[in-house]
Structure 1
């Protein structure tokens, strides 16, 4: 009798499609499919709306403070068709070092909008209050600026901090600290804020009185760090103004000279330029001990010192930087 009962229940299940034990399960399965499709459609629409963003009035680069647009690369380590923003995510073409701005930019209009966002200058009392709130090491609104300098994705992080705070504390370390003026100018130019406090390697970036997080510019994020292109050699076999034998003698003299100073990895280099300039008043060749700093950072330091001092890097060996002050006649004519 139990077998007939089971068989009878199965037949009723086949005949009655609205059988209570099975109707709920079938309905839930049917309602799940449209929900997934709706989510996928919304996500697709969001991606499509993100692909046409090129509102920022400057060329997109991985690093703004550590690259010189005037220096053209001689080669690339990866195909230029691979954009770090991802395929089709921005309406700009990646050239291997940047994504140039396509639309014409009205600089006067951009400057006027930034002045309106900043509003009236802060009073001394307001500035002192913000500085006291954000300048301490235990501040939760802090960003670290490392060897990459002012990077593109850092702009997105700055705006995210500005959603909940009027200012953000930026701690700078490594090679960018050789030229803090350059870091401050790029931060203000690319973010639209204003540096209201600067102490050695600590900056305080203010968002402005009229800043609205809802109308903030959209910053497309780089999905990966692009490989650095290939640039011309920094050190020549024969320095300009010297013969081969004189260049060799200068290099040996620099290697045997005591180091002017020892640089640490990801340290603070704000005083290096002034010390090298002062040393060149009495010395012809200067050696910097960069043990454990890294070969790539040594070359970046040499490039910055070449332009800031100015001087001529003549040797990078065993993480030692040898700098030559150049001909006195050229220095006098340049000054």
Structure 2
């Protein structure tokens, strides 16, 4: 029995080895391509038909429109000068120096047909302001009815609105105008939430938003705005707005707030500052807060007091100076102000505070009533 089993196993092994050798011989000696099992067969590529070739040729012959060159500079017909911020800069004040050469345009090298002067890219004199105003009136169309305004405001005034743009201390910036038009592609209006120093003058923000974007503000409540695009707005015919690739370095301007007020001596300024430090703070301003009612509160306080102090402990020094300059420029009921920023860390002899406490205060001193 054992011999029979051994002979059967040997016969099986011989048969398997013979089959293996035959397969190897057929694989190595055959010239056909070895396609492994279960692999998808590659379909032979068909030559393109003559009809498609003829169609392509006819389309190329018929298209007589010029091809846009991506390397060519962008041409914009907007009639105003391009600036980083429109609401927080004054074109009448010229800088006394620059922190970078004028050849470094924030629009990129060779991407705009306007020359960068260090503060702005002036528009060409060929752009007509009256033509831009006429086109804006055509886009706005007929004024909205009260029902349409209420429906539009109810849709976009809430905090959960997806069409929202946040306006910070930079104010109405150049790239924000492009963001507004991007929202107008799919929405009739956009919600704008304003925070920080620009909220001192909401009228200035509304003016620049309407002038630069061409829209119409249909709702204004404290720091919330709803900007409407117009009845006849067409996203395909939107104005060309080249984007700024980076924020340009701000130029060097004259000193915003002087240590000695104009018309006063150093001793008078020092005495008035020390007297103002003993006054209670009218308001406590927060960082990136809403300062809409600051002007009205200061106007009321100046009717009774000569010096007004605002607590700017949590406000940055740059924002503190900007607030002071805006209130200084503001002519409130014929009252002109001198502004004294105060920091106890720099002038410890003027303060009774401890050395480890750093506080910034803004003093507004009434000097003349017209």
In the superposition, the TM-score normalised over structure 1's length comes to 0.84
1:162 equivalent in alignment to 2:189: no
Which residue is equivalent to 2:168? 146
1:126 equivalent in alignment to 2:148: yes
In the alignment, structure 2 segments of 5+ residues that lack a partner are 1-20, 32-41, 46-66, 344-358
Mean alpha-carbon deviation: is it higher for 226-235 or for 112-121? 226-235
Structure 2 CA distance for aligned equivalents of residues 79 and 296 of structure 1:
24
> 1:46, CA displacement in angstroms?
5.1
Which residue is equivalent to 1:313? 339
Secondary structure of 2:120's match? Answer: coil
- State whether residues 298 and 316 of structure 1, in contact with CA within 8 Å, keep that contact through their aligned partners in structure 2: no
1:87 equivalent in alignment to 2:112: no
Which residue is equivalent to 1:137? 159
> 1:253, CA displacement in angstroms?
1.4
Superposition pairs for residues 146-295 of structure 1, below 5 Å? 146-295=168-317
Measured against aligned partners, the alpha-carbon deviations of 1:75-101 in whole angstroms (never above 9, x if no partner) come to 112222111111111011111111111
Which residue is equivalent to 1:76? 98
Which residue is equivalent to 2:50? none
Specify whether residues 242 and 140 from structure 1 end up closer, same or farther in structure 2 by C-alpha distance, changes over 3 A only. same
Structure 1 segments (4+ residues) deviating >6 Å: 5-9
Structure 2 CA distance for aligned equivalents of residues 134 and 179 of structure 1:
23
Work out the number of aligned pairs and report it.
Answer: 300
In the superposition, the TM-score normalised over structure 2's length comes to 0.76
> 1:7, CA displacement in angstroms?
11
| CA RMSD in angstroms, aligned pairs only | 2.3
- State whether residues 76 and 239 of structure 2, in contact with CA within 8 Å, keep that contact through their aligned partners in structure 1: no
Mean alpha-carbon deviation: is it higher for 308-317 or for 256-265? 308-317
Secondary structure of 1:296's match? Answer: helix
Which residue is equivalent to 2:366? 325
- State whether residues 93 and 100 of structure 1, in contact with CA within 8 Å, keep that contact through their aligned partners in structure 2: yes
Structure 1 CA distance for aligned equivalents of residues 117 and 342 of structure 2:
30
In the alignment, structure 1 segments of 5+ residues that lack a partner are 10-20, 25-43
- State whether residues 78 and 127 of structure 2, in contact with CA within 8 Å, keep that contact through their aligned partners in structure 1: no
Specify whether residues 248 and 194 from structure 1 end up closer, same or farther in structure 2 by C-alpha distance, changes over 3 A only. same
Secondary structure of 1:312's match? Answer: strand
Which residue is equivalent to 1:32? none
Question: Of 117, 124, 133, which residue of structure 2 is paired with 1:111?
Answer: 133
Secondary structure of 1:47's match? Answer: coil
Which residue is equivalent to 1:48? 71
- State whether residues 251 and 315 of structure 1, in contact with CA within 8 Å, keep that contact through their aligned partners in structure 2: no
Superposition pairs for residues 3-14 of structure 1, below 5 Å? none
